[in-house]
Each structure stands twice: as structure tokens, then as C-alpha cells.
Amino acid sequence: MTVFLYQSDPYCREFDARVAEVRGEWIVLDRTAFYPGGGGQEPDRGTLSGTAVVEVKKDNGSILHKTPGHAFSVGDEVHGVIDWQRRFDLMRGHTGEHLLFSCLQSISPELQLVKISIAPEKKSVIVSGELDWDMVCQAERRVMEAIASGLPITERLVKRDDPYLTEARVKMERIHGDTVRVVEIGDLDRAACSGVHVRNTSELGMVLVTGLTSARPVGDLEVEFEVGDRAKARASELAIMSLRAAEALGSTPNDLLGALGNMIREKERAAAALRRYGAKALDGLVPSDINGVKLYSGIFENMDKKTVADAATRFIKDRAMCVLGTVDERFMLVVASNPSLKVDCVAVLNHALSKIGGRGGGKPNFATGGAPTGEGAEEAMVAAIAAMTDALMSSDI
């Protein structure tokens, strides 16, 4: 059984221990300060007597340290060194997650925690429930107040049936054993957790939400955040970005959201007008006649893709085929035919798009696809029309 030094002193950076067991590249020590990960937090890295520890995990009450190329034997004395910069970043990230979620839940009481991810590259929580940027803003104010107040962070072990747990965030189905380790942030948060944390909220420096994105199907939203110096640096970057965006829109920073809203509405109006124009242009398209079958074809700039697809659906209700394309930064092509015509539209589509590095798919009588750029769009259109014509002329209809 290994003594877990990180539980009694999460700030322990170096320690001496004895090798208790060797399992190939994995070493078991009689005592260790290496945290094996848990609660969404990644495990520690470091060295044992100069040999790199590249992975740490828990196994039946022992901590296993993966040390490739080691020459240790049972009974050897070793000196462990934790990668402290990495550990402290993860400690602050884990504590920051507790504080952030608690403040978010105080704004949106029905919010549920789905998943936690605390790693050097990314820190986030996935939540289920109502949450928007206004709520995030309110929660961040409370987080920064807690950091400025220097709230103590403590822990205690309690029995599973202790009434104290009724006021804690805890999922008992995930607790193994008779006791529960609870971490408290002042009077602000109380949660069951086996992770390592800082001792005071002032050590966080700053917690900054940097992303709020869909996380379906595992939850409603993923909230990404940074802590400490990284949070401060990112806040500075985002501030400069907002100033530059305001300048580009001819707005003041305080009016940036209003100016952006106006721009979005203008874009929506322009898009609606373009769709109306596109529908009229397509309705006026004159088909050519191939062996008694109508063939609608044309290529249009910046036309709404749905408008093109809807037109193709209308055209092939009659004894007709169509090859319709739209070009903006990319190229989209629709190849369709009335189901009574024996034409493989998917084959025609991919034959045409292969000439310009594109591809697509769909049903035998209705296929769509595209290419990463608009270059070669006319070449693809010509190839598709020729292939449709050949297919029609050679089929028994």
C-alpha cells in the first residue's frame, strides 16, 4: 500500500522513497507525491532519480509510475521530483473549476455538471442547463470577488451517511469506500473531490471564460476557461481584439455589440434579398431539350445553396434533369433527374467534381457535392452536362 503524500501536502515538490515493486516499465513506491489523476485532472509528470516519469496511475491502493528505460530494483532508494510548474497549473485549474461552476450554478440553479477536463492544454467543464454569456459575465464577477477575498480552501473526510453531505455537490454512485473527501472554498462551495487544490483563492490570480460552445450530445455547453497568468494574457489578447473589431465597425468598444447586431441584421436582409433574386432567376431558367427531356443548367454566383437545391427539386417533378451550381469561396453542384429517368446522378456528380478536386454523394436521382474553391467550376459544369446528356442518350427511356 502506497502512502499518498499529495493528499497531506499537495505542495510537496520533492520526496524520497523506496521501490516496493517493479512491473516492467512501471514502478511502485512505498510513498509518493505523484498525483495519479482523477476528477477530470490529468496525472503528474516528473522524474525518479533523474529518470522521466511519463505516466502515473492508481491501481488497487498503489500508485504506478511509468519510467521507461529505468534500472530500478525492489528496495532501491529513489528521489522523486514533481514537474511543479505543470502540477501547480493543474491545481489552480481544478480549484478554478470548482469556483467557476459554483458561481455559474448560483446564477443558473438548475445547471448540472456533466464532465470536467483539466489539462495543461485545455481546461473546461461540460454542463447541462440554461447558460448564456450574460450569465457567464455575472458568474465571472463573483469568481473575481472570491479571488480578491482570499477565501481559504480546506478539505475534510466524512462518513457516507454524514448529514454534512446534504449541502455538498456529490454523486454518491461515484464514491467508493465508507468515507467521502469534501473540498470547501470558504462558505461559497462544498464538493466531493479527490483532486489536489491550492490553499487559497488568491493563488488563482484570475479565472477567465474563453469559450462557450455546444457540447452535444454529452451535454448542452462546454465552458472553456484559463487561470492565472494564462488568463491574464488571454484577457489582454481578447481586449485588443475587441478594440480592433470596434474600430473596424466604426464603433466605440461599449457600442460594439450594438454595431455587430446592426451588421448581422443588414447581412440577413441582404441574404434574404439575394434568395429572392436567386429564386426569380432560377424560375426564369430556360431548359434545353435532349431527346424529349428538359435539361435545366446554370451556374450562379453567391446564390443560397438551399435556393438552388429547392429549385432542383421543383424542376425534376416533371420529366426533367438539372445541373445547377453556385460559387462563392467554394463551389456547390447539384445533379438531379426525375426518378423515371435511368440516370445515376451520383456517378455524374463525382465524375464532374473529380476534375477539380471535389466530391459528393446522395441518391441516384438527386446528388450534391462541392469543391474547396470556385476555380474550375465552369469545367465541372460542362463535364456534368456532357455526362448527363450521354447517360440520357444511352439509356432506354
Q: What pLDDT, on the 0 to 100 scale, is given for residue 196?
A: 93
C-alpha to C-alpha distance for 192 and 180, rounded to whole angstroms: 7
Q: What pLDDT, on the 0 to 100 scale, is given for residue 171?
A: 77
* Residue positions counted in the chain: 397
Q: What pLDDT, on the 0 to 100 scale, is given for residue 60?
A: 84
Side-chain half-sphere of 91: how many Cα atoms within 13 Å? 27
Contact 60, 30 (CB under 8 A): no
CA–CA distance from 206 to each of 150, 213, 240 (Å)?
12, 21, 18
Q: What pLDDT, on the 0 to 100 scale, is given for residue 397?
A: 44
The amino acid occupying position 150 is: G
Mean pLDDT for each 10-residue chunk of the chain (397 residues)? 89 96 95 93 96 94 93 96 97 96 95 93 94 95 97 90 82 76 92 91 97 82 96 95 90 88 87 78 85 89 87 92 90 93 91 90 93 88 89 66
Position of cell 477530470? 40
Q: What pLDDT, on the 0 to 100 scale, is given for residue 123?
A: 97
Q: What pLDDT, on the 0 to 100 scale, is given for residue 295?
A: 92
Q: What pLDDT, on the 0 to 100 scale, is given for residue 112?
A: 92
Helix (H) or strand (E) holding 352: helix 345-353
- Long-range contact list for 141-146, CB < 8 A, 24+ apart? 142/103, 142/106, 142/107, 143/96, 143/99, 143/100, 143/103, 143/207, 144/206, 144/207, 146/99, 146/103, 146/185, 146/186, 146/188, 146/201
Closest CA to 39 of 86, 90, 110: 90
The amino acid occupying position 284 is: G
